[in-house]
Amino acid sequence: MGVLNVTPDSFSDGGKFFLLERALAHAEQMIAEGADIIDIGGESTRPGSLPVPNEEELRRVIPVIDSLSAKTSVPISIDTTKSSVACAALAAGAEIVNDISGLRFDPSIADEVAAAKAGLVLMHSRGTPETMQTMPPVADIMTEVIGSLRGSAAEAQRRGVARESIAIDPGIGFGKTAEQNIELIARLDQLAREFEAYPIMIGTSRKSFIGKLLGGAPANERLHGSIATVAVSVLKGAHIVRVHEVKPGVEVVRIVDAIRGVR
């Protein structure tokens, strides 16, 4: 899954693809490099970020989805926590909704997904992007993530989303300490066993815990660390990896898949 942020303030590439032409060019480049899904987001969820009004989020993402869906058959995902944005994005050509709140912010997202027979990614997070890194950490992050995601998946299905249309994401960086992020990756195989009916998605790309492990490396110097986490995550059971740099991600997954095939 290739990341396409059409925002002025995302933590690692804010403003870089804010213009329609640049956004489309970058999406086409990621597809050429092997992306299986393009994830388009119009609202930054970096720590400390504030919500974007519905109208502004729609203004950012819908022209990109309209144009891109007319050019490619690669599935488009809309990264949003708003049912109104999800509805418009699905009508414009998106096929997946990626909800970082796991339906906590707007459960009606599941209604829109069910009506469109679309895919739904349910991610675990705590608090809001504005507050998540100031919250006291939970004592047992695995129990917290498993319990919360079970509830999200049950709510989605109660609202009509097919079980086979749901993927889950442990939410690396969203209300977790650096140590808890590492623990979630190290124990991802346990999460995969707990949710064997669902594909596991994980997004570690350029996250701050990688910078900490690398002695304070800024976001644009975390590629090798990000790729290391991708390799481990796939070995531990991840089915979808969300990345900013697609070509290195595709190459590492191919190698890991070859090794897993022998094993």
* DSSP notation for 186-240: HTHHHHHHHTTTS-BEE--TT-HHHHHHTTS--GGG-HHHHHHHHHHHHHTT-SE
Residues in Cβ contact with 25 at an 8 Å cutoff, skipping those fewer than 6 apart: none
Specify the DSSP class assigned to residue 46: S
Reading the block at residue 33, the tokens are 């490099």
Reading the block at residue 120, the tokens are 């739904």
Per-residue 3-state assignment (H helix, E strand, C coil) for 80-142 = CCCHHHHHHHHHHCCCEEEECCCCCCCCCHHHHHHHHCCEEEEECCCCCCCCCCCCCCCCCHH
207 noted as active-site residue: yes
DSSP H or E stretch at residue 178: helix 178-186
The catalytically annotated residue of 242, 247, 260, 263 is 242
Specify burial of residue 88 (Cβ count, 10 A radius: 0-12, 13-18, 19+).
Answer: buried
The catalytically annotated residue of 207, 247, 254, 260 is 207
Active-site residues, by number, are 207, 242
